[in-house]
């Protein structure tokens, strides 16, 4: 918000009283190769080398909270080795991207603020090699600028980041999960389906639904609507799943 001259401020240009630009470059689950190199040539990248030395089976056995801590430590080390100015933005709930680089610029401060986030949901089945390449991928976005997307400048910066971290240079913008990641993803989906929901929904026709948290909005049963039932009979009522019933 602009301050008046009486308040010691200066007049805002017409049509530019406040402006915030946020440009994002994300990396989809199909964005980098799962088979990243397992050796690191940079002797200073100790945490990165330790991450890539963990077998996939042992990695999946670790609690998710512990895995996130290891990845965060690797990110801070990689950022320091590459000299790229980017903040750690934390873990988001995006399901369609492994990582995302955000650059925010305000009207008064023309210096962009860059932050990198990783997905808490889309990375649960990824291997240490994929995490390493995701971090390098996003650091390259931070250096190249998000407006460059995956063009030649980003590719050159990606190769430079890989060289600085001691990783083999593999320029890919599309990730395809290997057999290990695919098997882990299927396992997680089966465990999720077998887990009883916290809230149990029921419509007038007896169709059952599950929810992980309390439902605050009204929902209608699609099966009832397709069968031609009135909307009043298609309303879903959610109750706490005390008996741990499955859907």
User: 179 and 217: one domain?
Assistant: no
The pLDDT, as a whole number, for residue 7 is 37
Do residues 163 and 128 both lie within one domain?
yes
Give domain status of residue 152, yes or no: yes
Instruction: Give pLDDT tens digits for 43-61.
Output: 888 999 999 999 999 999 9
Tell me the pLDDT band of 223, cut-offs 50, 70 and 90. very high
Give bridge partners of residue 201 from the DSSP assignment.
209, 238
pLDDT digit string, tens, across residues 1-32: 333 333 344 333 333 333 333 444 444 443 44
pLDDT at 79 over 80: yes
Residue 180, Cβ density class (10 Å: 0-12 exposed, 13-18 middle, ≥19 buried): buried
Task: Kindly state whether residue 246 falls inside one of the protein's structural domains.
Answer: no
Structure tokens at 138: 């996003």
pLDDT at 169: 65
pLDDT above 80: residue 63: yes
pLDDT at 39: 67
9 domain-assigned: no
- The answer to whether the beta carbons of residues 122 and 98 sit under 8 Å apart is yes
Q: Indicate whether 2 belongs to any domain.
A: no
Q: Are residues 68 and 105 in the same domain?
A: yes
What is the rounded CA–CA span in Å between residue 226 and residue 203?
A: 14
Instruction: Answer whether residue 160 shows pLDDT above 90.
Output: yes
Residue 145 in any domain: the answer is yes
Is 182 found in the same domain as 155?
yes
77 and 146 assigned to the same domain: yes
> 200: which strand partners?
210, 239
Same domain for 223 and 146:
no
Last residue of a domain, one of 150, 168, 188: 188
Domain that holds residue 230: 196-240
In a domain, 26, yes or no: yes
Q: pLDDT, tens digit, for every residue of 122-142?
A: 999 999 999 999 999 999 999
Both tokens assigned to 136: 């390098």
Q: How many separate domains does the chain show? A: 2
Q: Looking at the structure, tell me whether residues 68 and 166 fall in a common domain.
A: yes
Q: What whole-number percentage of the chain has pLDDT above 70?
A: 82
What pLDDT, on a 0 to 100 scale, did the predictor assign at position 36? 42
* Global pTM exceeds 0.85: no
> In this structure, are 113 and 220 located in the same domain?
no
Does 1 reside within a domain? no
Please say whether the beta carbons of 240 and 210 come within 8 A.
Answer: no
Is 118 in the same domain as 210?
no
Q: Which residues neighbour 119 within 8 Å (Cβ) at sequence distance 6 or greater?
A: 91, 92, 93, 94, 95, 97, 98, 99, 100
Q: Are residues 210 and 160 in the same domain?
A: no
- Of the chain, the percentage scoring pLDDT greater than 90 comes to 58
- Report the C-alpha gap between 74 and 48 in whole angstroms: 6
The tokens for 99 are 């990582």
Give 90-112 pLDDT, tens digit per residue.
999 988 889 999 988 766 666 77
Report d(CA 73, CA 71) in Å as an integer: 5
Q: Are residues 98 and 206 in the same domain?
A: no
Q: Are residues 102 and 84 in the same domain?
A: yes
Question: Would residue 3 count as lying in a domain?
Answer: no
């Amino acid at each position: 918000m602009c301050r008046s001259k009486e308040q010691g401020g200066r007049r805002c240009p017409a049509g530019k009283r406040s402006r915030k630009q946020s440009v994002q470059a994300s990396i989809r689950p199909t964005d980098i190769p799962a088979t990243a190199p397992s050796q690191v040539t940079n002797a200073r990248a100790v945490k990165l080398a330790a991450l890539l030395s963990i077998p996939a089976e042992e990695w999946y056995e670790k609690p998710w909270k512990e895995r996130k801590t290891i990845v965060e430590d690797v990110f801070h080390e990689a950022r320091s080795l590459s000299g790229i100015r980017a903040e750690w933005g934390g873990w988001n709930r995006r399901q369609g991207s492994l990582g995302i680089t955000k650059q925010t610029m305000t009207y008064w401060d023309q210096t962009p603020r860059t932050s990198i986030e990783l997905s808490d949901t889309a990375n649960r089945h990824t291997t240490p090699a994929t995490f390493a390449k995701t971090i390098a991928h996003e650091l390259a976005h931070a250096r190249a600028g998000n407006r460059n997307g995956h063009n030649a400048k980003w590719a050159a910066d990606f190769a430079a980041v890989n060289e600085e971290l001691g990783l083999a240079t593999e320029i890919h913008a599309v990730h395809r999960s290997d057999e290990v990641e695919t098997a882990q993803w299927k396992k997680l989906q089966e465990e999720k389906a077998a887990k009883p929901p916290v809230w149990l929904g029921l419509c007038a026709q007896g169709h059952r639904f599950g929810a992980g948290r309390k439902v605050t909005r009204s929902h209608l049963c699609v099966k009832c609507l397709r069968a031609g039932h009135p909307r009043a009979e298609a309303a879903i009522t959610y109750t706490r799943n005390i008996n741990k019933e499955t859907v």
